């Protein structure tokens, strides 16, 4: 039955001028990094909620991320957040991950939680605090080299709450000077991804508030510095796909933090609130395969209501679906319609792809990759959550 659906879809797509074999090979090359922090207990700013079976240690986070990878085939790396993830044996951590078929990915310094950072990290007026933040970055670079990662992914909570609280220009100079020191330590293909966010925790101004500021800093640093787009970090109505297109065209799109939001930085499942926006973002990525191959695709979500591993599997499926739909847009026809000022045809080319049920294609791709056709069902039938609950409640975390 599902094979029939696959054949019907293939015929339909080929008739529409889509090369199915090419789409399949691009889907197989898709790579999505999951974050270690999505596997452990989280919550809201009002409190943390415990989930039975949630990972308690870095090793358990690795086990969960590795399971998501085994079931989906595309979540080959896991990001670590230094501070939240601690170890005095990173080589051992790396080896454990590899024994599970997983690699460790981007390394994220945490310079937003310590008491010292209350008034900023790299923008602090205190040299001692800036130095402490620098040391945190240097530690991350050391960890990167031990675990075999080439991505340093940075985000700062730096900002002010009141007019007059800080000097914008002095803060900018401190920030750039510190970032330059970090950048000067990078070697070879190592890159620094600069993430922006328009507010929170600061409410009057944020030092890296938007893609323009992140781009400015990255440009000042050099080629190995790029911009990271977190989908929850924009004001309402901002056209993220436009930002993505511009950054790609400039060779400055470094990475994504996928999630979705209704109001602010809600960290909901990507594609759960606005799947069309996600599709349009993927359309821009799919339009420039060469540049988009260099992008680090990462998830940054907080799953405290849905079961964590299930939600991550759902997240991956949503990202696969958005990418598949973007890949079946007929770009020749889209361009013709654009040049011919046929707005209706141009829009419909996108809408038709978005409305296509790509599940039979994704199922086939997964099977060819040796993964379950329906990873969520495989997770549920495999009793993985029950096993985690048992294992993680019967012994103390080590
Ligand atoms: C900040 O809101 C952020 O998006 C940064 O990427 C942090 O590292 C991450 O969330 C922590 O979840
Ligand atoms: Mn983020």
Quick check: 112 pLDDT over 70? Answer: yes
pLDDT digits (tens, 9 = 90+) for 23-71: 999 999 999 999 999 999 999 989 999 999 999 999 999 999 999 999 9
In a domain, 205, yes or no: yes
Cβ of 198 below 6 Å from ligand 1: no
In a domain, 385, yes or no: no
State which of 203, 257, 263, 296 you would mutate to test the pocket of ligand 1, scoring each by most atoms of that ligand within 8 A of its C-beta.
Answer: 257
By alpha-carbon position, which residue is closest to atom 2 of ligand 1? 265
Cβ of 42 below 6 Å from ligand 1: no
- Rounded to the nearest integer, the mean pLDDT of the chain is 97
Where in the chain does DSSP place strands (E)? Answer: 34-35, 42-44, 47-49, 77-82, 103-109, 151-154, 159-160, 191-195, 205-206, 225-230, 253-258, 296-299
Q: Which helix (H) or strand (E) holds 10?
A: helix 2-15
In a domain, 397, yes or no: no
Q: Is 126 left (phi over 0), alpha (psi -120 to 50) or beta?
A: beta
Quick check: 339 pLDDT over 80? Answer: yes
CB 316 within 8 A of CB 75: yes
Quick check: 397 pLDDT over 70? Answer: no
At residue 236, the 3 state secondary structure works out as coil
Cα within 13 Å of Cα(388), Cβ side: 27
Count of other CB atoms within 10 angstroms of residue 344: 9
Measured distance CA(213)–CA(71) in Å, rounded: 38
Rounded to the nearest angstrom, the distance between the alpha carbon of 264 and the centre of ligand 2 is 12
pLDDT recorded at residue 3: 85
Rounded to the nearest angstrom, the distance between the alpha carbon of 6 and the centre of ligand 2 is 36
Residues ≥6 apart with Cβ < 8 Å to 74: 30, 31, 32, 316, 320
Q: Which ligand is nearest to the CA of 156?
A: 1
Rounded to the nearest angstrom, the distance between the alpha carbon of 106 and the centre of ligand 2 is 12
Measured distance CA(375)–CA(371) in Å, rounded: 8
Q: How many residues does the chain have?
A: 398
Q: How confident is the model at residue 306 (pLDDT cuts 50, 70, 90)?
A: very high
Q: How confident is the model at residue 242 (pLDDT cuts 50, 70, 90)?
A: very high
pLDDT recorded at residue 80: 98
Ligand 1 atom index nearest CA of 232? 4
Quick check: 109 pLDDT over 60? Answer: yes
At residue 176, the 3 state secondary structure works out as helix
Rounded to the nearest angstrom, the distance between the alpha carbon of 100 and the centre of ligand 1 is 26
Cβ of 158 below 6 Å from ligand 1: no
State which of 300, 301, 302, 304 you would mutate to test the pocket of ligand 1, scoring each by most atoms of that ligand within 8 A of its C-beta.
Answer: 300
By alpha-carbon position, which residue is closest to atom 1 of ligand 1? 155
Pick from 75, 10, 63: which is nearest to 317 by CA?
75
Residues ≥6 apart with Cβ < 8 Å to 84: 36, 37, 40, 110
Measured distance CA(75)–CA(67) in Å, rounded: 9
pLDDT digits (tens, 9 = 90+) for 197-228: 999 999 999 999 999 999 999 999 999 999 99
In a domain, 393, yes or no: no
By alpha-carbon position, which residue is closest to atom 11 of ligand 1? 300
In a domain, 239, yes or no: yes
Measured distance CA(348)–CA(137) in Å, rounded: 47
pLDDT recorded at residue 230: 98
Cβ of 37 below 6 Å from ligand 1: yes
Q: How confident is the model at residue 1 (pLDDT cuts 50, 70, 90)?
A: low
Rounded to the nearest angstrom, the distance between the alpha carbon of 177 and the centre of ligand 1 is 22
19 alpha carbon, distance to own chain's centre: 28
Give the structural domain span for 235.
30-329
Quick check: 251 pLDDT over 80? Answer: yes
- Total domains in the chain come to 1
In a domain, 6, yes or no: no
Quick check: 288 pLDDT over 80? Answer: yes
Quick check: 278 pLDDT over 70? Answer: yes
CATH number of residue 251's parent domain: 3.20.20.150
pLDDT recorded at residue 45: 87
Cβ of 230 below 6 Å from ligand 1: yes
In a domain, 296, yes or no: yes
pLDDT digits (tens, 9 = 90+) for 160-191: 999 999 999 999 999 999 999 999 999 999 99
In a domain, 308, yes or no: yes
- Identify the DSSP state of 105: E
CB 64 within 8 A of CB 37: no
State which of 154, 159, 195 you would mutate to test the pocket of ligand 1, scoring each by most atoms of that ligand within 8 A of its C-beta.
Answer: 195
């Amino acid at each position: 039955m599902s094979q029939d659906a696959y054949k019907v879809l293939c015929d339909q797509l080929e008739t529409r001028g889509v090369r199915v074999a090419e789409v399949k090979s691009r889907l197989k090359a898709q790579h999505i990094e999951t974050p270690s922090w999505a596997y452990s207990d989280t919550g809201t700013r009002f409190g943390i909620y415990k989930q039975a079976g949630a990972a308690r240690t870095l090793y358990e986070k690795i086990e969960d991320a590795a399971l998501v990878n085994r079931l989906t085939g595309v979540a080959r790396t896991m990001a670590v957040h230094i501070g939240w993830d601690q170890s005095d044996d990173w080589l051992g951590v790396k080896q454990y991950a590899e024994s599970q078929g997983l690699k460790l990915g981007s390394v994220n310094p945490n310079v937003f939680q310590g008491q010292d950072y209350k008034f900023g990290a790299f923008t602090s007026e205190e040299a001692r605090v800036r130095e402490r933040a620098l040391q945190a970055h240097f530690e991350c670079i050391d960890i990167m080299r031990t675990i075999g990662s080439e991505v340093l992914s940075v985000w700062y909570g730096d900002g002010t709450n009141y007019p007059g609280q800080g000097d914008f220009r002095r803060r900018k100079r401190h920030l750039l000077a510190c970032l330059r020191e970090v950048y000067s330590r990078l070697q070879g293909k190592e890159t620094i991804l600069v993430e922006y966010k328009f507010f929170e925790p600061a409410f009057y101004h944020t030092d890296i508030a938007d893609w323009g500021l992140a781009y400015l800093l990255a440009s000042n640093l050099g080629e190995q510095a790029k911009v990271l787009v977190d989908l929850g970090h924009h004001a309402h109505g901002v056209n993220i796909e436009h930002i993505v297109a511009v950054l790609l065209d400039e060779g400055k799109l470094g990475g994504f933090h996928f999630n979705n939001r209704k109001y602010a930085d809600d960290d909901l499942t990507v594609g759960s609130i606005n799947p069309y926006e996600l599709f349009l973002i993927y359309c821009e990525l799919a339009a420039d395969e060469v540049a988009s191959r260099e992008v680090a695709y990462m998830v940054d979500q907080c799953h405290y209501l849905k079961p964590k591993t299930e939600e991550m599997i759902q997240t991956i499926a949503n990202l696969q679906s958005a990418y598949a739909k973007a890949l079946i847009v007929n770009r020749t026809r889209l361009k013709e319609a654009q040049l011919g000022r046929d707005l209706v045809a141009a829009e419909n080319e996108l809408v038709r792809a978005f409305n296509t049920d790509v599940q039979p294609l994704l199922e086939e791709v997964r099977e060819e990759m040796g993964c379950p056709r329906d990873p969520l069902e495989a997770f549920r039938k495999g009793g993985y959550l029950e096993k985690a609950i048992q294992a993680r409640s019967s012994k103390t975390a080590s």
